[in-house]
């Protein structure tokens, strides 16, 4: 194997690269054209987003407030449920359909009702900070993806056996902690297995899988209508466990990461299996100027902080991500505050991700990233603010504006992640991506509480959504315009 490695790295008769080639340039030449082997790897890796979407938005159904009806003449369905005697009303379905009815949370404060969903996003935030650099340092992309999916699936299964709101919120925290790095690892690993020309399109495959996963939730929710919310967690956890087995067997590690860690023979073996070319590989790598050989798991973050140009890019992307994340994760949860069918609302929201995916897939190489991000964040903010300002006066136009706002946030979400990949070198790319995703998730931490408060006054949900994403988009444009 050592002989073949030396041959592949330094003795090709087809082409010889100058010793000053960077790591990305060398691997770019090795990989060659986009082939079926790369496509199958990218597709399998990107499918992790499918299960990620299910766990991200599952509380839209499990934590929703069920419909109710009056049981005597004293009751009025337009009254505040909390002011009515218990014997004058009843839930339309068995109390076990939602945690709200099962644990009697219908009159609890907005913080308490939003606690499980906020715990999930808080877990995502802490998990991202704790686990993100492991993919750049000791574990690598593949093992980190496998570990994250495993934690997410097992915690989801355990959630079905929760006996109180506190246990439920804790398990949602663990679930968020585990899934925190799934999107980051899947996106980075899939794009590092292909040439630079195809990174945008391959990255968009993950967004497509996320949309599919999101779209399955209203189907599961409708099939489960009238049954316990616990079944939803069981149905979504078992396929994820099967997926973990497929990742363990078939997914390849990033050759870029292996070369950075000095594991040349493994890198060459993977390149030979997925590449269409075999040419000279230089030992010079992309991150030579930023001390690519890390001595501990937080060196990648140290590099990001010490290099001024990297830090500026990171802060810009994180500021933008915070506003986008608040709207992206909050909009589906806020559907219960609109006078519209919840199942159809979630279906329409999921479907609106398809045009966002298509724009990202086909136009990512043809549009200016900064201008597009400013435009989509502004459109999302204006649409959301109109919902809060006009309220019930809009009638059915409420859902139209909600879809416009969510679609714009989806597109901005996708473009932000792709843009982040392009802005950072290999040695810190996964850590930078993780930090930006944490900013997205940090915005999501506030969304459930805002949604709960918005049931009484929509300014606290849609109004703040519009204000925050608009300001973050504006600040991003101003900073990048320096």
Q: What is the pLDDT of residues 15-25, one digit of tens each?
A: 444 444 556 66
The pLDDT, as a whole number, for residue 322 is 93
Residue 285: name the closest of 8, 22, 17 by CA.
22
The pLDDT, as a whole number, for residue 4 is 43
The pLDDT, as a whole number, for residue 353 is 86
Q: How many residues does the chain have?
A: 482
Q: How far is Cα of residue 399 from the mean position of the Cα atoms in its chain?
A: 23
The pLDDT, as a whole number, for residue 275 is 67
The pLDDT, as a whole number, for residue 84 is 82
The pLDDT, as a whole number, for residue 475 is 74
Residues of the chain with pLDDT under 50: 1-20, 278-297, 480-482
The pLDDT, as a whole number, for residue 481 is 41
The pLDDT, as a whole number, for residue 152 is 96
């Amino acid at each position: 194997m050592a002989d073949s490695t030396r041959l592949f790295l330094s003795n090709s008769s087809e082409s010889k690269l100058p010793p000053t080639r960077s790591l990305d340039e060398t691997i770019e030449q090795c990989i060659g054209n986009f082939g079926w082997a790369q496509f199958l790897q990218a597709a399998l890796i990107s499918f992790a987003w499918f299960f990620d979407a299910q766990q991200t938005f599952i509380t839209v159904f499990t934590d929703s407030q069920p419909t109710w009806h009056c049981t005597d003449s004293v009751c009025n369905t337009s009254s505040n449920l909390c002011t009515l005697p218990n014997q004058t009303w009843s839930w339309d379905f068995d109390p076990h359909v939602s945690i709200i009815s099962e644990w009697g949370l219908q009159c609890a404060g907005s913080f308490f009702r939003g606690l499980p969903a906020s715990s999930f996003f808080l877990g995502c935030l802490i998990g991202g900070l704790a686990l993100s650099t492991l993919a750049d340092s000791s574990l690598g992309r593949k093992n980190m993806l496998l570990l994250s999916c495993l934690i997410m699936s097992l915690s989801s299964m355990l959630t079905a056996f929760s006996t109180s709101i506190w246990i439920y919120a804790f398990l949602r925290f663990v679930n968020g902690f585990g899934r925190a790095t799934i999107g980051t690892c899947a996106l980075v690993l899939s794009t590092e297995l292909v040439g630079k020309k195809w990174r945008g399109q391959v990255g968009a495959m993950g967004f497509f899988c996320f949309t599919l996963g999101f779209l399955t939730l209203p189907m599961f929710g409708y099939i489960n209508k009238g049954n316990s919310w616990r079944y939803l967690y069981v149905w979504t956890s078992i396929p994820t466990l099967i997926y973990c087995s497929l990742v363990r067997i078939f997914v390849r590690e990033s050759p870029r990461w292996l070369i950075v860690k000095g594991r040349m023979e493994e890198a060459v073996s993977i390149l030979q299996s997925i590449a269409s070319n075999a040419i000279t590989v230089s030992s010079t790598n992309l991150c030579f100027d930023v001390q690519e050989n890390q001595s501990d798991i937080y060196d990648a973050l140290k590099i990001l902080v010490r290099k001024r140009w990297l830090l500026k890019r990171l802060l810009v992307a994180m500021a933008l991500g915070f506003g986008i994340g608040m709207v992206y994760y909050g909009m589906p949860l806020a559907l219960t505050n609109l006078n519209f069918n919840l199942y159809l609302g979630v279906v329409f929201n999921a479907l609106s991700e398809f045009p966002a995916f298509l724009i990202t897939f086909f136009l990512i190489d043809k549009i200016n990233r900064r201008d597009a991000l400013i435009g989509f964040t502004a459109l999302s903010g204006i649409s959301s603010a109109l919902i809060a300002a006009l309220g019930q006066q809009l009638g059915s136009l409420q859902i139209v504006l909600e879809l416009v706002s969510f679609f714009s946030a989806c597109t901005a979400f996708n473009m932000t992640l792709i843009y982040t990949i392009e802005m950072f070198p290999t040695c810190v790319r996964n850590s930078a991506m993780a930090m930006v995703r944490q900013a997205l998730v940090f915005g999501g931490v506030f969304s459930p509480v805002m949604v709960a408060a918005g049931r009484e006054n929509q300014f606290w949900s849609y109004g703040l959504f519009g204000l925050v994403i608009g300001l973050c988009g504006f600040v991003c444009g101003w900073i990048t315009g320096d």
